[in-house]
A = this chain, B = another copy of it.
Amino acid sequence: MKVDTWFGVLETGGVGEITGSRLISKGIRELALYSLSLRDSRLNLPPEGFDLKAAAIECGFVESPAEYYSLLHEVTLEAAKLQVSGALTPDQRIIQAVEALDDINETTNSLSERLFEWYGGYFPESGLSGETLALFIVKYGSRDNIDSEDPLYSKARDSMGAKLEAADEALLKGFAESVCSLYERRRQIEAYIQSSMELIAPNLNIIAGPMLGARLISIAGSLEKLAVFPSSTIQVIGASKALFKHLRARAPSPKHGVIYSHPLINTAPWWVRGKIARAVSAKLSLAARIDFYSGKKDISLAEKLETKVLQIKALNPRPPQKKQEIGAKLKKKRRK
């Protein structure tokens, strides 16, 4: 009978005596990797009451119980470390990136607004904002330094803004540089999310686009969790407030959560948005499942979705009549 143990494979006879053994070398790391590889197999478990320590001494793997326990301690510690370091799966890294992107967006906006207000005192006519303004300030600083070829030259000459002192100019330039650095960072993180999504969730990437796909994974918590969500859950992810209001009171159910940013949904006329959201989320759920369980790219998914959306639009060319709505409401009330 074969017995798998953390230090090797043993052959035992009928009454438990060891008849042969294939031991692992005594390296901590090898032992840890080997014991992790055993985790999932249910074959060759030691029989009940089998004394691993005695067997290890008997087959010559260790010399004393003390050595056995100290080695076991180190191996399990190493195995735990290996497990922890393996916990950062690619989808977890995407989630980190999405969260960092949200932080960056928020801070960039608030610092941009501050820069706009601050520089507004010196050149209110510029009409610039956001990154363009930050780049303008980094380039010129005071409006006096503007090139005569710049389209803003004449505006800058006649500006009613205050004179920018050297100390303030240095301060504003530094501030604008930080803002530019944040905009740069935003682009970098977006590019990272795009290339990672292409790798770990190619189908979700096609159906949802990289940013929406990454956000869905981020809200679900992992690609695995997203894959087991029913499509009706995916449809309202991010609309939990409206959903619970619907469940608690007689509020209408939300038609879409974060998937509203999907171009098929937000460009559709309002009376088919709910139907299209349902079609999109069904395909999103399928895509997440394919990505998690097989990982193969399936281009037909996007085509099917497009056909479905065209069909929905063809069946509902006009908004529903007001009369019908009133009729429906009366019916509901009578039912109550």
Contacts and interface: CB of A to CB of B under 8 A. Distances in A.
Interface of A: 80-81, 84-88, 92-93, 96-97, 99-100, 103-104, 106-107, 110-111, 114, 117-118, 121-122, 160-163, 165, 167-168, 170-171, 174-175, 177-178, 181-182, 184-185, 188-189, 192, 195-196
23 contacts: A80-B160, A81-B160, A84-B162, A85-B160, A85-B162, A86-B162, A87-B121, A88-B121, A93-B168, A96-B118, A96-B121, A103-B110, A107-B110, A167-B192, A168-B192, A170-B188, A171-B189, A171-B192, A174-B184, A174-B185, A174-B188, A175-B185, A178-B185
Contacts of A165: 93
B189 A178 contact: no
Nearest to A113: B103
A86 B163 CA distance: 8
Nearest to A83: B160
A115 to B, nearest CB: 8
Contacts of A192: 167-168, 171
Contacts of A88: 121-122, 162
Contacts of A80: 160
Contacts of A160: 80-81, 84-85
Contacts of A118: 96, 100
Contacts of A121: 87-88, 92, 96
A182 B104 CA distance: 12
In the complex, the 9 A-B pairs of residues with the closest C-beta atoms, listed nearest first: A107-B107, A88-B162, A81-B160, A85-B162, A84-B160, A178-B181, A103-B114, A178-B185, A88-B121
Contacts of A92: 121
Nearest to A199: B167
Nearest to A162: B88
Nearest to A189: B171
Given A87-B162, A177-B181, A178-B185, 14 more contacts: A80-B160, A81-B160, A85-B162, A86-B162, A93-B168, A96-B121, A103-B110, A104-B111, A107-B110, A167-B195, A170-B188, A174-B185, A175-B189, A178-B181
Nearest to A107: B107
Contacts of A168: 93, 192
Contact of A107 (B100, B111, B171, B177): B111
A212 to B, nearest CB: 20
Contacts of A188: 170-171, 174
Contacts of A114: 99-100, 103
Contacts of A161: 84-85
A125 to B, nearest CB: 11
A28 to B, nearest CB: 12
B178 A182 contact: yes
A87 B162 CA distance: 7
